[in-house]
């Protein structure tokens, strides 16, 4: 009798354990079912800030005289930019760079020696402004300074956007909407119900020139050469499905 009871108890214990383990496995299997998608958002925008730089130089054997000349050039350039409509607060003159030059001459028995050939002093100016059209015009016409005896080299302007953080937040929201729509489409076609959001990871934020066919970078592109740009962002999300 005791042997029969023991056998029944053991059998029931095995059944109960199997039921518990089976349901635990089933719950684990269901809870780990997920739908993973990547949402994308893009937006075209126009830069609202321009940065333009230029350099000018003087050469001579007398350092003091060359420095006096380049500081005089700085005053002329500053006056020129102000006449063109650039405010003092929008321009910054950089420190003067001094290079001591040497020429190498051949000596007797195959030797050579360095001979001092003067100094080259280089100055620079940076204009940072919201007046994009004005600065673009000046960057093209600045060669007028040649008529004043100033050798001025103009760089291409760089373009920026002052509300970049707001743009990124807006794109993230749209990428999340796009990701959810993709997940819902997959869930519907797979005959499952889309559950709650499990995880979300922001991808690379890219800024490229509009219609420039510019390559995307793994670390994120940040175009500064185009006034009209396209911003894009990806968002990888994971939803539970049941």
Range 190-210 average pLDDT: 92
pLDDT at residue 89 tops 90 = yes
What 3-state class would DSSP assign to 146?
A: helix
Helices (H), the chain: 2-31, 63-83, 132-141, 164-189
pLDDT tier, 212 (very low <50, low <70, confident <90, very high otherwise): confident
Range 143-168 average pLDDT: 94
CA distance 19 to 149: 95
CA distance 182 to 178: 6
pLDDT at residue 217 tops 90 = no
- Tell me which of 43-47, 76-80, 91-95, 212-216 is least confident: 212-216
Please choose, from the candidates 53, 121, 130, 66, the residue with its C-alpha nearest in 3D space to the C-alpha of residue 92. 53
- Backbone φ and ψ of 157, nearest 5°: -65, 155
pLDDT at residue 71 tops 80 = yes
pLDDT tier, 106 (very low <50, low <70, confident <90, very high otherwise): confident
> Token match 């007398």: residue?
62
More reliable by pLDDT, 189 or 110: 189
| Length of the chain counted residue by residue | 242
What domains appear along the chain, each with residue ranges and CATH number? Answer: 32-46+163-241 (3.30.110.170), 49-160 (3.30.70.2970)
Contacts of 47 (CB under 8 A, 6+ apart): 132, 159, 160, 161, 226, 227, 228, 229
Q: What is the pLDDT of residue 111?
A: 79
Q: What is the pLDDT of residue 100?
A: 96
Q: What is the pLDDT of residue 59?
A: 95
Residue 96 tokens, joined = 């003067």
Contact of 157 with 52, CB cutoff 8 Å: yes
CB atoms within 10 A of CB 11: 10
Burial of 57 (0-12, 13-18, 19+ CB in 10 A): buried
């Amino acid at each position: 009798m005791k042997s029969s009871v023991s056998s029944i108890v053991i059998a029931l214990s095995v059944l109960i354990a199997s039921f518990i383990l089976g349901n635990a496995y089933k719950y684990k299997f269901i809870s780990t079912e997920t739908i993973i998608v990547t949402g994308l958002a893009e937006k075209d925008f126009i830069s609202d800030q321009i940065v333009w730089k230029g350099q000018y130089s003087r050469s001579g054997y007398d350092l003091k005289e060359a420095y006096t000349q380049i500081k005089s050039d700085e005053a002329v350039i500053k006056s020129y930019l102000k006449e063109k409509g650039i405010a003092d607060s929008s321009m910054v003159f950089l420190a003067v760079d001094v290079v001591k030059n040497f020429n190498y001459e051949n000596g007797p028995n195959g030797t050579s020696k360095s001979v001092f050939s003067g100094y080259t002093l280089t100055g620079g100016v940076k204009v940072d402004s919201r007046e994009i059209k004005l600065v673009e015009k000046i960057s093209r016409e600045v060669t007028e300074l040649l008529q004043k005896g100033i050798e001025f080299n103009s760089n291409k302007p760089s373009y920026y956007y002052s509300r970049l953080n707001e743009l990124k937040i807006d794109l993230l929201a749209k990428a999340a909407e796009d990701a959810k729509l993709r997940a819902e489409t997959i869930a519907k076609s797979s005959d499952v119900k889309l559950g709650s959001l499990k995880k979300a990871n922001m991808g690379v934020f890219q800024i490229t020139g509009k219609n420039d066919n510019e390559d995307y970078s793994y670390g994120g592109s940040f175009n500064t050469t185009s006034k009209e740009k396209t911003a894009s962002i990806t968002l990888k999300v994971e939803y539970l499905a049941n």
